[in-house]
Structure 1
Amino acid sequence: MANLLRRALRPAPAAVEQRFGWDDYANLLGAFGFGGHSYGLGLTQTLPGQSEEKLEANFPALVQGALKRNGVIFACILTRMLVFSEARFQFRRLQNGRPGDLFGTKDLQLLERPWRGGTTGDLLTRMLLDADLAGQAYLTKQGVGSRRRVRRLRPDWVTIILGSENEPELGADALDADLLGYIYQPGGPTSTAKPVLLMPEEVAHFAPIPDPVASYRGMSWLQPIIPELQSDSAATTHKLKFFENGATPNMVVSIDPSVSVEAFKRFKEVMETEHRGLANAYKTLYLGGGADAKVVGSDLRQLDFKLTQGAGETRIAAAAGVPPVIVGLSEGLQSATYSNYGQARRRLADGTMRPLWRNAAGSLATLVPPPEGAELWYDDRDIPFLREDRKDAAEIQGTQATTIRQLVDAGFTPDSAIRAVESEDWALLAHTGLFSVQLRPPNPQQEQQPTKSDPIAPEDVPNPPDEGTGDPATGE
């Protein structure tokens, strides 16, 4: 452990190559401002020779500038969270590599009650929120027995430590490096708190979108659309400023050159006082001699503001994996109505939510190891958002029931027929050895009827009638 800690805290070698990367590109685009502070949009990158994967200080920037200040981003993240948090976790049996039935044990209580007052939905909400904004979520467990709890690690306070089992130092390519552990710095990199070293088996690392230039670090879906995010924020600001200035377009007022500077300043002060702001909207503009007012720029109609901003909103929703009609964006409602809401809902469930649930189950298996012959899986059967899929599920179950009935009639055991149909593995079928009537061969020894040539047994001869029992009158 001491050698591992020394290797983990060893300073990284100097970079041998500098390139124009996403950090520089984001700096050219500008930074988010909030509360008088400027948050740079530095995107994480891996330089040659790095022995760590560290999330830079873009997490607070995206929280303050995107989640809390952009309605479209908030709506997309909220939609993802509301659906994602509805799932539950169960163990799923594996039979010959194929999934079987779901079952639960008391080990799942750690995920059902991750912390005091918390539920599985709270756990999933935290995981997805960190993954959406930082690209990954880190979870570990503390305590023993009934006091075990799940602790969330703030993603920008965690550093991934890489190493190599074959070479003492990393080469130029760190993509094949081994994961040695995680360093958690409470309070951030500048904090004086003692860092905590966590082994890989102690941390559930949820990174649904991998970073192509890193081995283990994830990437936020917001990073590729930072220009769209800034454009949408700028469009919203433009709309706000348009109404703040009396819902009038920009104007240029030219003054005769003979007007003195003092007179121009007084004229400007009167213009801004009398004709700027919502309270002065639609007032008549009076100009003195030598002054000329011209309209410049475009108003919202000339700019086709709704179409311009709507296109950006659609691209943001596409990056989030959420159909615009689900979020309620105007452009999505124009191209699709709520009549085909079901198709959009299925796209969100099958294309976005289920891959996220699968990834989350695999990540949390580090904290809750499944029993032998099983895996940690999600249970989406009780999610109201997917309730309309139950009709399709009922039709599929009807087809499966017919298949099971045919297999049982053919002589297979009912239990094996159910397992084979559910797992789609016909090798699980077991036959009883009994066959239906149609499959039985005819009886070779059939009963033969007596013929004329056959001797008649004495007991088969009928008794003759008694002679003394006739009718005396008729003689019969």
Structure 2
Amino acid sequence: MKWFGRKSARPNGIWGVRLPLSRGGAIGAAGDWPQSYEARVRDAYCQNPVALRAVKLVSEGAGGAPLIASDPALAALVQSRSGGQRLIETVAAHLLLHGNAYVELLCDDAGRVTELFALRPERVTVEPDANGWPVAYTYRTGRHVSRLASEDGAGRTAVAHIRAFSPIDDHYGLGCLNAAAGAVAIHNAAAKWNKALLDNAARPSGALVYETGDGAALSGEQFERLKREMEAGFAGAGNAGRPMLLEGGLKWQAMSLTPADMDFVGLKAAAAREIALAFGVPPMLMGLPGDNGYANYREANRALWRLAILPLAENILGGLCQALRPWFPEARLAVDID
């Protein structure tokens, strides 16, 4: 069977011409936050606890779910570790973050598939034919470039491409990071703001006012000396609460928090909820403030499985089954919900 080419087999022996495909433009994001995938992963998965927990809840749930397989060998192949990684969990994380997952099918000398390995999606580029249909994949690791054919010499799938839906691109799926980038940037900025506030004795900075009766001002040398003494003796969390001895007409004028500053905590909580929403995780399961009760928690956990984990697992298992059918003609994989 021809998977990629100008023509494909149709039911009842009818042949039709495949319509051309094209690469759509990337979705632009307005705002001062990272645009590249690597930078967004660092900000979200590596530095943001809400995004990290949301991805791990869904991917680990999909990777640890019990499976029903048509063949024990098929189940062992899908559930085995490759390169120290659990296949389904890794593929689920790639789909959530990048929107694309690429699984290389490795065969022995006899042509039997022996291993499934998940490729890093940001390193893979689709190589289309003249009509835009994928015929190969380019894998880049630093200066090393490898070309992986989509099919082997026998017409069997060599690289399985599983992707999320994208309304603007025929080749690449759309991950959750695009929608969550703004909320992640706000949440990280709020964390940095709170850290700076704690470093300044958990209160906003004030003004050191020099008042004399004759209207004199500090000289440049006096100003620099006073600035150095303030930074050395009173700045930072280690100097929080330290008393200040003022002389020579100096007066400390404290500044109070504005209503906007007081609402900063609420802004951070709203950003955390938007991050959880982008990854399909109920905010209650993230430990965010809300109606946290045992009954509500149980329903939220069921909603997580019904609305996020099971659909994602079905997409992954369906793509793997389609790729493995040349070796397992009756291939069937599903999550054992009982």
**Could you tell me which residue of structure 1 aligns to residue 78 of structure 2?**
111
What is the match of residue 32 of structure 2? 29
| Cα distance between partner residues in 2 of 1:116 and 1:262 | 63
User: Structure 1 107/282 Cα, relative in aligned 2: closer, same or farther at 3 Å?
Assistant: closer
The SS at the match of 2:203 is coil
Please point out which of 200, 204, 211 is paired with 2:166. Answer: 211
**Structure 1 stretches lacking a partner, 5+ long:** 5-14, 32-40, 43-57, 92-102, 166-176, 382-389, 391-476
Higher relative CO (Cα under 8 Å, sequence separation at least 6) belongs to 2
Q: Partner residue of 1:199?
A: 150
Using the TM superposition, give the Cα deviation of residue 375 of structure 1 relative to its aligned residue in structure 2, in angstroms.
Answer: 5.1
Structure 2 gap segments, 5+ residues each: 6-22, 152-156
Q: 1:15-60 deviations in whole A, cap 9, x for unaligned?
A: 9xxx9x755x46x5144xxxxxxxxx23xxxxxxxxxxxxxxx2x2
- Name 1:159's counterpart in structure 2: 125
Kindly report the root-mean-square deviation, in angstroms, between the aligned alpha carbons of the 2 structures.
Answer: 2.9
1:87-106 alignment to 2 at 5 Å? 87-91=65-69, 103-106=70-73
CA contact (8 A) 1:203 1:366 kept: no
Question: C-alpha displacement at 1:71, in angstroms?
Answer: 0.9
Q: Deviations over 1:273-304 (max 9, x none)?
A: 22211222122333334434333462799514
Q: From 239, 244, 258, give the equivalent of 2:194.
A: 239
| Distance (whole Å) between structure 1 residues aligned to residue 84 and residue 278 of structure 2 | 33
Q: How does 1:44-443 map to 2 (within 5 A)?
A: 58=37, 60-91=38-69, 103-115=70-82, 122-144=86-108, 148-165=114-131, 177-185=132-140, 187-188=141-142, 191=143, 193-199=144-150, 201-208=157-164, 210-255=165-210, 258-296=217-255, 298=257, 303-329=262-288, 331=289, 334-369=290-325, 374=330, 376-381=332-337
Query: What SS does the corresponding residue of 1:29 show, helix, strand or coil?
Result: coil
Inter-partner Cα distance in structure 1 for 2:74 and 2:180:
40
After superposition, give the CA deviation of every residue in 1:248-291 in whole Å (9 maximum; x if it has no partner).
Answer: 21212344552111111111111222221122212233333443
Output the TM-score relative to the length of structure 1: 0.58
Kindly provide the CA deviation profile for residues 163-208 of structure 1, in whole angstroms up to 9, marking residues without a partner as x: 344xxxxxxxxxxx423332222x14xx1x2421321532121223
Change (3 A) 1:300 1:150: farther
1:439 alignment counterpart: none
* Structure-2-length-normalised TM-score: 0.79
| Structure 1 runs (4+) greater than 4 angstroms displaced | 299-302
- Following superposition, the deviation at residue 320 of structure 1 comes to 0.9
What is the alpha-carbon distance in structure 2 between the residues aligned to residue 250 and residue 153 of structure 1?
49
- Given residue 224 of structure 1, which amino acid in structure 2 is its aligned partner? A
Cα deviation code 1:78-122 (max 9, x no counterpart): 11122111224444xxxxxxxxxxx3243443213253766xxx1
Shift of 1:220: 1.6
**Deviation (angstroms), 1:341:** 1.6
Count of aligned pairs between the two proteins: 304
SS in 2 for 1:298: coil
CA contact (8 A) 2:234 2:242 kept: yes
Preserved CA contact (<8 Å) 2:33 2:181: no
User: Which residue identity lines up with residue 246 of structure 1 in the other structure?
Assistant: A
SS of the residue corresponding to residue 182 of structure 1 reads strand
**Which residue identity lines up with residue 162 of structure 2 in the other structure?**
F
